[in-house]
Protein backbone atom coordinates (compact mmCIF):
# COMPACT_ATOMS: atom_id res chain seq x y z
CA UNK A 1 0.00 0.00 0.00
CA UNK A 2 2.55 2.55 1.08
CA UNK A 3 4.87 1.48 -1.76
CA UNK A 4 2.16 2.29 -4.25
CA UNK A 5 1.88 5.73 -2.80
CA UNK A 6 5.63 6.18 -2.95
CA UNK A 7 5.54 5.39 -6.65
CA UNK A 8 2.81 7.96 -7.21
CA UNK A 9 4.70 10.55 -5.22
CA UNK A 10 7.73 10.00 -7.36
CA UNK A 11 5.77 10.84 -10.50
CA UNK A 12 4.69 14.17 -9.08
CA UNK A 13 6.35 17.45 -9.59
CA UNK A 14 7.76 18.90 -6.39
CA UNK A 15 5.03 19.08 -3.75
CA UNK A 16 4.01 22.53 -2.58
CA UNK A 17 4.14 21.51 1.08
CA UNK A 18 6.43 19.51 3.30
CA UNK A 19 4.75 16.10 3.48
CA UNK A 20 4.97 13.73 6.41
CA UNK A 21 3.63 10.23 7.12
CA UNK A 22 0.19 9.07 6.05
CA UNK A 23 -2.44 10.55 8.38
CA UNK A 24 -5.63 9.43 6.64
CA UNK A 25 -5.93 6.01 5.03
CA UNK A 26 -9.11 4.94 3.23
CA UNK A 27 -9.40 1.44 1.82
CA UNK A 28 -12.32 0.44 -0.38
CA UNK A 29 -14.85 2.71 1.38
CA UNK A 30 -18.49 2.07 0.46
CA UNK A 31 -21.64 3.86 1.51
CA UNK A 32 -25.27 3.45 0.60
CA UNK A 33 -28.19 5.84 1.14
CA UNK A 34 -30.97 3.27 0.95
CA UNK A 35 -30.55 1.77 -2.52
CA UNK A 36 -28.34 4.58 -3.74
CA UNK A 37 -24.66 3.62 -3.81
CA UNK A 38 -23.01 6.96 -2.94
CA UNK A 39 -19.46 5.78 -2.40
CA UNK A 40 -18.34 2.83 -4.52
CA UNK A 41 -14.98 1.80 -3.22
CA UNK A 42 -12.89 4.86 -2.46
CA UNK A 43 -9.23 4.10 -1.78
CA UNK A 44 -6.78 6.88 -1.09
CA UNK A 45 -4.46 8.19 1.55
CA UNK A 46 -3.49 11.65 2.67
CA UNK A 47 -0.11 12.58 4.08
CA UNK A 48 0.58 14.98 6.87
CA UNK A 49 0.76 18.56 5.59
CA UNK A 50 -0.82 17.66 2.28
CA UNK A 51 -3.56 19.82 0.75
CA UNK A 52 -6.00 17.73 -1.25
CA UNK A 53 -8.71 19.37 -3.33
CA UNK A 54 -11.71 17.21 -4.15
CA UNK A 55 -13.91 18.23 -7.07
CA UNK A 56 -16.55 16.72 -9.27
CA UNK A 57 -20.19 17.03 -10.31
CA UNK A 58 -22.85 17.44 -7.63
CA UNK A 59 -24.10 14.14 -6.28
CA UNK A 60 -20.76 12.50 -7.00
CA UNK A 61 -20.21 11.68 -3.33
CA UNK A 62 -17.39 14.13 -2.64
CA UNK A 63 -19.10 15.76 0.35
CA UNK A 64 -20.23 12.40 1.67
CA UNK A 65 -16.66 11.19 1.39
CA UNK A 66 -15.11 13.91 3.54
CA UNK A 67 -17.99 13.58 6.00
CA UNK A 68 -17.08 9.92 6.54
CA UNK A 69 -13.65 11.05 7.74
CA UNK A 70 -15.09 12.55 10.93
CA UNK A 71 -18.05 10.18 11.06
CA UNK A 72 -20.80 12.65 10.24
CA UNK A 73 -21.63 9.91 7.76
CA UNK A 74 -21.09 6.28 8.64
CA UNK A 75 -19.39 4.15 5.99
CA UNK A 76 -20.94 0.76 5.39
CA UNK A 77 -17.91 -1.14 4.13
CA UNK A 78 -14.15 -0.70 3.99
CA UNK A 79 -11.66 0.84 6.34
CA UNK A 80 -10.91 4.42 7.40
CA UNK A 81 -7.92 5.10 9.63
CA UNK A 82 -7.39 8.65 10.87
CA UNK A 83 -4.21 9.51 12.75
CA UNK A 84 -3.70 5.85 13.64
CA UNK A 85 -7.24 5.39 14.99
CA UNK A 86 -9.54 3.12 13.02
CA UNK A 87 -13.09 4.41 12.56
CA UNK A 88 -15.40 1.88 14.16
CA UNK A 89 -18.70 2.11 15.95
CA UNK A 90 -16.80 2.60 19.20
CA UNK A 91 -17.99 6.00 20.39
CA UNK A 92 -14.65 6.66 22.11
CA UNK A 93 -12.84 6.30 18.81
CA UNK A 94 -15.28 8.61 17.09
CA UNK A 95 -14.93 11.27 19.79
CA UNK A 96 -11.15 10.92 19.72
CA UNK A 97 -11.07 11.39 15.94
CA UNK A 98 -13.47 14.33 16.03
CA UNK A 99 -11.14 16.12 18.43
CA UNK A 100 -8.31 15.80 15.88
CA UNK A 101 -10.36 16.72 12.81
CA UNK A 102 -11.82 20.19 12.33
CA UNK A 103 -14.61 20.81 9.87
CA UNK A 104 -15.88 23.87 8.02
CA UNK A 105 -19.33 23.72 6.45
CA UNK A 106 -20.91 25.30 3.42
CA UNK A 107 -23.60 26.93 5.58
CA UNK A 108 -21.08 28.00 8.30
CA UNK A 109 -23.27 26.45 11.04
CA UNK A 110 -22.20 28.96 13.67
CA UNK A 111 -24.21 28.81 16.87
CA UNK A 112 -26.60 31.77 16.56
CA UNK A 113 -27.34 32.04 20.29
CA UNK A 114 -23.67 32.53 21.21
CA UNK A 115 -21.32 35.42 20.50
CA UNK A 116 -18.37 34.96 18.17
CA UNK A 117 -16.05 34.55 21.15
CA UNK A 118 -18.37 32.03 22.80
CA UNK A 119 -18.64 30.10 19.53
CA UNK A 120 -14.87 29.72 19.46
CA UNK A 121 -14.27 29.00 23.16
CA UNK A 122 -17.14 26.54 23.62
CA UNK A 123 -15.37 23.35 22.50
CA UNK A 124 -11.94 24.15 24.03
CA UNK A 125 -13.64 24.75 27.40
CA UNK A 126 -16.01 21.78 27.35
CA UNK A 127 -13.97 19.23 25.41
CA UNK A 128 -10.33 20.22 25.98
CA UNK A 129 -11.14 21.39 29.53
CA UNK A 130 -9.26 24.65 29.15
CA UNK A 131 -9.97 27.51 31.50
CA UNK A 132 -12.19 30.24 30.14
CA UNK A 133 -9.25 32.66 30.26
CA UNK A 134 -6.91 30.42 28.25
CA UNK A 135 -9.63 29.67 25.72
CA UNK A 136 -10.46 33.34 25.28
CA UNK A 137 -6.85 34.36 24.86
CA UNK A 138 -6.49 31.72 22.17
CA UNK A 139 -9.77 32.70 20.53
CA UNK A 140 -8.58 36.29 20.25
CA UNK A 141 -5.33 35.11 18.64
CA UNK A 142 -7.31 33.07 16.12
CA UNK A 143 -9.65 35.96 15.37
CA UNK A 144 -6.55 38.07 14.79
CA UNK A 145 -5.28 35.37 12.43
CA UNK A 146 -8.50 35.33 10.38
CA UNK A 147 -8.58 39.12 10.45
CA UNK A 148 -11.68 39.98 12.48
CA UNK A 149 -10.69 40.52 16.13
CA UNK A 150 -13.07 43.50 16.36
CA UNK A 151 -16.11 41.22 15.86
CA UNK A 152 -15.46 39.09 18.97
CA UNK A 153 -18.49 40.24 20.93
CA UNK A 154 -21.01 40.27 18.12
CA UNK A 155 -23.51 37.55 17.33
CA UNK A 156 -23.09 35.54 14.10
CA UNK A 157 -26.29 37.07 12.70
CA UNK A 158 -24.62 40.48 12.76
CA UNK A 159 -21.70 39.41 10.53
CA UNK A 160 -21.39 39.10 6.76
CA UNK A 161 -21.15 35.64 5.19
CA UNK A 162 -17.41 35.90 4.67
CA UNK A 163 -16.88 36.97 8.27
CA UNK A 164 -19.06 34.14 9.50
CA UNK A 165 -17.07 31.60 7.53
CA UNK A 166 -13.82 32.99 8.92
CA UNK A 167 -15.25 32.67 12.44
CA UNK A 168 -16.19 29.07 11.59
CA UNK A 169 -12.58 28.40 10.55
CA UNK A 170 -11.32 29.97 13.78
CA UNK A 171 -13.79 27.87 15.76
CA UNK A 172 -12.48 24.67 14.17
CA UNK A 173 -8.86 25.74 14.68
CA UNK A 174 -9.48 26.43 18.37
CA UNK A 175 -9.55 22.66 18.92
CA UNK A 176 -5.99 22.53 17.54
CA UNK A 177 -6.90 19.86 14.98
CA UNK A 178 -4.30 17.94 12.99
CA UNK A 179 -6.59 17.76 9.96
CA UNK A 180 -9.08 20.27 8.55
CA UNK A 181 -12.00 19.32 6.34
CA UNK A 182 -13.68 21.98 4.18
CA UNK A 183 -17.05 21.13 2.67
CA UNK A 184 -17.62 23.69 -0.10
CA UNK A 185 -16.59 26.56 2.19
CA UNK A 186 -17.19 29.32 -0.36
CA UNK A 187 -20.28 28.03 -2.17
CA UNK A 188 -22.75 29.98 -0.04
CA UNK A 189 -20.80 33.24 -0.25
CA UNK A 190 -21.28 36.32 -2.37
CA UNK A 191 -18.45 36.64 -4.92
CA UNK A 192 -16.75 39.56 -3.18
CA UNK A 193 -16.43 37.55 0.05
CA UNK A 194 -14.92 34.42 -1.46
CA UNK A 195 -11.42 35.90 -1.55
CA UNK A 196 -11.27 36.74 2.15
CA UNK A 197 -12.10 33.14 3.03
CA UNK A 198 -9.68 31.67 0.47
CA UNK A 199 -6.93 33.93 1.81
CA UNK A 200 -7.38 32.46 5.27
CA UNK A 201 -7.30 28.95 3.79
CA UNK A 202 -4.14 29.75 1.83
CA UNK A 203 -2.42 30.96 4.96
CA UNK A 204 -3.56 27.82 6.77
CA UNK A 205 -2.18 25.58 4.01
CA UNK A 206 1.19 27.29 4.09
CA UNK A 207 1.35 26.81 7.86
CA UNK A 208 1.53 23.05 7.28
CA UNK A 209 -2.06 22.03 8.05
CA UNK A 210 -3.34 18.83 6.46
CA UNK A 211 -6.40 19.88 4.49
CA UNK A 212 -9.12 18.15 2.50
CA UNK A 213 -11.09 20.71 0.55
CA UNK A 214 -14.23 20.09 -1.48
CA UNK A 215 -14.43 23.11 -3.74
CA UNK A 216 -14.98 24.37 -7.25
CA UNK A 217 -12.51 27.22 -6.80
CA UNK A 218 -10.08 26.02 -9.45
CA UNK A 219 -7.78 29.01 -9.03
CA UNK A 220 -7.34 28.09 -5.39
CA UNK A 221 -6.76 24.45 -6.32
CA UNK A 222 -4.12 25.28 -8.91
CA UNK A 223 -2.27 27.50 -6.50
CA UNK A 224 -2.52 25.60 -3.22
CA UNK A 225 -3.34 21.93 -3.83
CA UNK A 226 -0.65 19.25 -3.72
CA UNK A 227 -3.07 16.79 -5.25
CA UNK A 228 -6.53 16.88 -6.78
CA UNK A 229 -9.12 14.11 -6.71
CA UNK A 230 -11.83 14.04 -9.36
CA UNK A 231 -14.95 12.34 -8.04
CA UNK A 232 -17.71 10.98 -10.22
CA UNK A 233 -20.46 8.49 -9.40
CA UNK A 234 -18.96 7.68 -6.03
CA UNK A 235 -15.46 6.91 -7.26
CA UNK A 236 -12.14 8.64 -7.63
CA UNK A 237 -12.00 8.75 -11.41
CA UNK A 238 -8.70 10.56 -11.67
CA UNK A 239 -6.12 12.09 -9.42
CA UNK A 240 -2.91 14.01 -9.83
CA UNK A 241 -1.19 17.31 -9.25
CA UNK A 242 -3.07 20.42 -10.40
CA UNK A 243 -0.62 20.68 -13.34
CA UNK A 244 -1.47 17.15 -14.50
CA UNK A 245 -5.21 17.61 -14.01
CA UNK A 246 -5.48 20.97 -15.71
CA UNK A 247 -3.04 20.52 -18.59
CA UNK A 248 -3.30 16.84 -19.26
CA UNK A 249 -6.45 15.20 -17.89
CA UNK A 250 -6.47 11.48 -18.74
CA UNK A 251 -10.08 10.58 -18.31
CA UNK A 252 -12.88 11.63 -20.64
CA UNK A 253 -15.22 12.56 -17.76
CA UNK A 254 -12.56 14.78 -16.20
CA UNK A 255 -12.09 16.58 -19.50
CA UNK A 256 -15.82 17.13 -19.91
CA UNK A 257 -16.27 18.35 -16.34
CA UNK A 258 -13.29 20.70 -16.50
CA UNK A 259 -14.48 22.13 -19.81
CA UNK A 260 -17.81 22.92 -18.17
CA UNK A 261 -16.48 24.75 -15.13
CA UNK A 262 -13.36 26.47 -16.45
Partner 1 sequence: MSSTDVQVTQEVKQPRVAVSLIDWLRRNLFSNWLNSIITLLLLWVIVSALVRLFDWALTEATWTPVVKNLRLFMVGRYPGEAIWRVQVALALVLALFGISGGIWGGITRKVTSGLVAATILLAILPLSMGTRLYFVGMAVLMALGFIAGLRFPRLLRWPAIALWIISPIVIVILIGGISGLLPSVDTSLWGGLMLTLMLAVVGIVASFPIGVLLALGRRSKLPVVKGFCVAYIETIRGVPLVTVLFMASIMLPLFLPAQIRIADVVRAMVALTLFSAAYLAENVRGGLQAVPNGQIEAARSLGLNVFQTTTLILLPQALRMVIPAIVGQFISLFKDTSLAVVVGLTELLGIAEVVIRQPDWLTVPGGVQREVLLFVALIYWVFSFSMARVSYQIERRLGVGTR
Q: Does 157 bind partner 1 (CB under 8 A)?
A: yes
Q: Partners of 77 in the beta sheet?
A: 30
φ, ψ of residue 210 in degrees (nearest 5) = -80, 125
Residues 2-61 that bind partner 1 (CB under 8 A): none
Q: What is the DSSP string of 184-253?
A: STTTTS-HHHHHHHHHHHHHHHHTT-EEEEE---HHHHHHH-SEEEEEETTEEEEEE-HHHHHH---SHH
Give the nearest distance from C-beta 10 to partner 1 in angstroms.
35
Burial of 132 (0-12, 13-18, 19+ CB in 10 A): exposed
Which one of residues 155, 178, 222, 258 is an interface residue with partner 1 (CB under 8 A)?
155
User: Residue 24: beta bridge partners?
Assistant: 46, 82
If one counts every other C-beta atom within 10 angstroms of the C-beta of residue 261, the result is 9
166-195 positions binding partner 1, by CB under 8 A? 168, 171-172, 175
Q: Which is nearer to partner 1, 183 or 232 (CB)?
A: 183
The DSSP element (H or E) to which 154 belongs, if any, is none
Decide whether 157 or 191 has the Cβ nearer to partner 1: 157
Q: Of the two residues 107 and 131, which places its CB atom closer to partner 1 in the complex?
A: 107
Rounded to a whole number of angstroms, the minimum distance from the CB of residue 122 to partner 1 is 7
Residue 218 Cβ vs partner 1, minimum distance, rounded to whole Å: 26
For the bound state, the minimum distance from the C-beta of residue 77 to partner 1, rounded and expressed in Å, comes to 22
Q: Provide φ and ψ at 194, rounded to 5°.
A: -65, -40
Q: Nearer to partner 1 by C-beta: 1 or 127?
A: 127
Element (DSSP H or E) covering residue 3 = helix 2-11
Least distance in angstroms from the C-beta of 28 to partner 1? 24
d(CA 53, CA 139) in angstroms, rounded, equals 27
Stretch that binds partner 1, among 78-86, 150-158, 213-221, 226-234 (CB under 8 A): 150-158
Which positions from 86 to 125 touch partner 1 by CB under 8 A, shown as an x/- string? ---------x--xx-xxx-x-x-xxxxx-x------xx--
Beta-carbon contacts of residue 84 (< 8 Å; ≥ 6 apart): none
CB of 105 to partner 1, least distance (A): 6
Q: Which residues bind partner 1 (CB under 8 A)?
A: 70, 72, 95, 98-99, 101-103, 105, 107, 109-113, 115, 122-123, 126-127, 154-155, 157-158, 168, 171-172, 175
Amino acid sequence: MSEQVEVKEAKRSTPKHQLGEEIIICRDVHKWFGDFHVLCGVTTSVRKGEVVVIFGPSGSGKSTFIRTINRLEEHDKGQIIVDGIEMTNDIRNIDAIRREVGMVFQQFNLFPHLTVLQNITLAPVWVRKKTKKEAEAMAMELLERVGIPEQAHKYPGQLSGGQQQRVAIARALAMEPRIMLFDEPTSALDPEMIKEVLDVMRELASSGMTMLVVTHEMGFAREVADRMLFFDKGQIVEQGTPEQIFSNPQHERTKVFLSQIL
